[in-house]
Structure 1
Amino acid sequence: MRFLLPCLLCILPLWAAAADGPSISRIRDTGVIVMGYRPASLPFSYLDANLKPIGYSIELCERVIAAVKRELKLPELEVKRVAVSSATRLPMVANGMLDMECGITTNNAERARNQAFSITTFVTETKLLSRSVDGIRSLRDLRGKPVASTIGTTSIQYLHSINEQEDLGFRILAGLDDPEAFHLLRTGRARAFMMDDVLLRSMLAQLPSPQGYEVSEQALTVEPYGIGLSRHDPAFKQLVDSVLIGLYRSGEIFAIYRRWFESPIPPLGINLQLPMSAAFKRVIAQPTDTPDPAHYR
């Protein structure tokens, strides 16, 4: 795992080296690149009115795909889009079923043992969503109560860990995806839903009447997102990183960010009005793929 990328200029022309990697060789031979996406993780990766995957993470991966098409002279390159869930995404990357996983996956040290990640593409924090009348401000307010999160996520792992460490007596309920976990809260089966802040806010924004819910102020964890990649193909990682760094260096990333986080997005015209965090601005200025949460605080 590389942490800080020390020389931005010297890693941009990577195509000759990348062409020798197994991913590029397979893409050239088959004429197909495989992209994993999340169907319901607005605004990162979700389906539009025509059931086409769109979103912030999808756009970043599409920039990589455009570069592959151009450099390999494959204008008709087929893009195979495969839906993944929080439970299936990591094994599919590790098993080589995906060239890129373009969703909302946190880069941490445990996951990095089985797969690689691009440089960080977003930084968020986990928080609690609850009904306002319940007065939930922290995990300790949930002692002995049911708490929901999503299976296969760092959030549910954190809940299990803190529950054991502090003997809080949670009953942890797992949704198969984020909307199902949110449904556990909405139907009263859970008293709170722990998840990444931006995802909580995006789900609230999709409700016809979001009043009555609130997101806690306290951040529980810091989560750096990255594009999921094979750990056995450092050349393809270099290629992906070079495209992202190009977006960061040119400043184009700011327009992409505004398009998905500070503007009305399809299909409902929701505007999350979420300014870019100071942590992500630092990543843009000095790209990194470190999984260490302390680096982003």
Structure 2
Amino acid sequence: MKTIPTITAALIGAGQPVIGADVCAQTLEKVTATDKITVSYREAAVPFSYLLGPNKAVGFSVDLTEAIIDDVRSRLKKPNLKVEYIPVTGQNRIPLLVNGTYDLECGSTTNTSARGKEVSFSINFFYAGTRLLTKRNSNVKNYADLASKTVASTAGSTNEKLVRKYSAENNLNIQIISGKDYADALRLVENDDASALALDDVLLFGLRANSGHQSSLEIVGDTLQVEPYACMVRKDDPEFKKLVDGTITRLMRSGEFTRLYKKWFESPIPPTGVNLNMQMSEPLRANLKTRSDKPAQ
């Protein structure tokens, strides 16, 4: 096991920034040296990770994160390990992980080969696909109906790239505008600044369920590319990836993972008690047994 240099530990302990992925690659050693683990959350990724009040994140991915933290505490024999939570966006989640600002991201991030060049991914814990959310009176039923229209997404997302590709391949001249986060992207549709919002289907169900305009919104269109969600850890840190994978494996084997799924996808969830009524997909059911970390194609 590679040891963090003493000067690095001192800098971290003093609150100084640590530069370079290599310095922070060995997460468990960094956590041991600082007596703290820093994890991220998303502010509006219902039901994976979202704010319930100004400083309280909840959701399916948050529960996975907490289970991983418990295993870190057990592994390091640090029952009082300090945990710091920071918000991330689609644009900064990878850079902030790579540079050591935080140590673990379990949110709504798609496991892709391109991202795998910068970070490592855990066992996949969800499978989604890009679809469209639009107003019921928009006459948008599929991607062909978006010719020469404006579509919202989030900057840096796989959804944005897929729609751009689909538009180019089918000569649709779709114009893309980006929201700073999921809630902001939804407002672009609600305010008629965009004809539709392209995101992973589960995120669309969550956004619609918690929107004040739920009855006027519908989710339409074919599924573009099935995408696996996974937790992100720093690259070249097999020990920490093994721990994260071990936690997810334990939850899947014990039935706790299925219980958490029912809690967040098939039951009323806060703050309004809405029920997404999303049964577990066949790809995810299969992965409870295979436990693959294979990226999207």
**TM-score normalised by length of structure 1:** 0.89
Q: Does 1:165 align with 2:169?
A: yes
Instruction: Work out whether residues 137 and 218 of structure 1, in 8 Å CA contact, stay in contact via their aligned partners in 2.
Output: no
Q: Deviations over 1:226-255 (max 9, x none)?
A: 001101201110110011101111111110
Match of 1:229 in 2: 233
Q: Does 1:29 align with 2:33?
A: yes
Secondary structure (helix, strand or coil) at the match of 2:246 reads helix
> What corresponds to 1:87 in structure 2?
91
Contact 1:93 1:229 in 2 (8 A): yes
Query: Do 1:109 and 1:292's aligned partners in 2 also have CA atoms closer than 8 Å?
Result: yes
Question: What is the rounded CA distance, in whole Å, between the counterparts of 1:267 and 1:135 in structure 2?
Answer: 31
**Within 2, Cα distance between the matches of 1:208 and 1:48?**
16
Residues 134-182 of structure 1: CA distance to partner in whole angstroms, max 9, x if unpaired? Answer: 2212211111111111111101111222222222111111111111111
Percentage identity across paired residues of the two chains: 36
Match for 1:150: what amino acid?
T
Letter in 1 for 2:112: N
Q: Is 1:287 the equivalent of 2:278?
A: no
Cα deviation for residue 213 of structure 1 reads 1.8
Deviations 1:95-138 (A, max 9, x none): 22221012100001111111111000111111011112222122
Equivalent residue, structure 1, for 2:70 = 66
CA distance in structure 2 between the partners assigned to 1:50 and 1:179 by the alignment = 15
- From the superposition, tell whether residues 98 and 211 of structure 1 become closer, same or farther in structure 2 (CA, over 3 Å): same
Q: Which consecutive segments of 4 or more residues in structure 1 shift more than 6 A?
A: none
Question: What corresponds to 1:278 in structure 2?
Answer: 282
Please give the secondary structure, in 2, of the residue aligned with 1:140.
helix
Are the aligned partners of 1:49 and 1:267 in contact in 2 as well (CA < 8 Å)? Answer: no
Deviations 1:204-243 (A, max 9, x none): 1112341222111411121100001101201110110011
Shift in Å at residue 292 of structure 1?
3.2
- Between stretches 210-219 and 246-255, larger displacement belongs to 210-219
CA 1:209 to 1:255, structure 2 compared with 1: closer, same or farther past 3 Å? same
RMSD (CA atoms): 1.3
CA distance in 2, matches of 1:214, 1:267: 21
Q: 1:147 aligns to what?
A: 151
Separation (CA, whole Å) in 2 of partners of 1:217 and 1:191: 13
1:102 alignment partner in structure 2: 106
Which of 208, 224, 227 is 1:204 aligned to? Answer: 208
Higher relative contact order (CA 8 A, sep 6+): 1
- Unaligned runs of 5+ residues in structure 1 are 1-20
Code of the aligned partner of 2:166: I
Residue-by-residue CA offset, 1:18-76 (whole Å, 9 max, x unaligned) = xxx82111111111001011011111011113621111001101101001112211111
1:292 counterpart letter in structure 2: A
- Of the structure 1 ranges 156-165 and 178-187, higher mean CA displacement relative to structure 2 is found in 156-165
State the alpha-carbon separation in 2 of the partners of residues 177 and 277 from structure 1: 26
SS of the aligned residue for 1:120 comes to coil
Alignment of 1:159-198 (within 5 A): 159-198=163-202
Report the more deviating stretch, 216-225 or 31-40. Answer: 216-225
For residues 94-133 of structure 1, the aligned pairs below 5 Å read 94-133=98-137
The 10-residue stretch of structure 1 (155-164 or 226-235) with the greater mean CA deviation from structure 2: 155-164
Structure 1 position 94, deviation (Å):
2.1
Task: Return 133-142 or 121-130, whichever deviates more.
Answer: 133-142
How far apart, CA to CA, are the structure 1 residues paired with 2:267 and 2:207?
16
Query: Which residue of 2 is the match for residue 4 of structure 1?
Result: none
Provide the rounded CA distance (Å) in 2 between the counterparts of 1:22 and 1:292. Answer: 26
Aligned runs of 1:47-58 on 2, under 5 Å?
Answer: 47-49=51-53, 51-58=55-62
Cα distance between partner residues in 1 of 2:290 and 2:126: 13
Does the residue aligned with 1:167 lie in a helix, a strand or coil?
Answer: coil
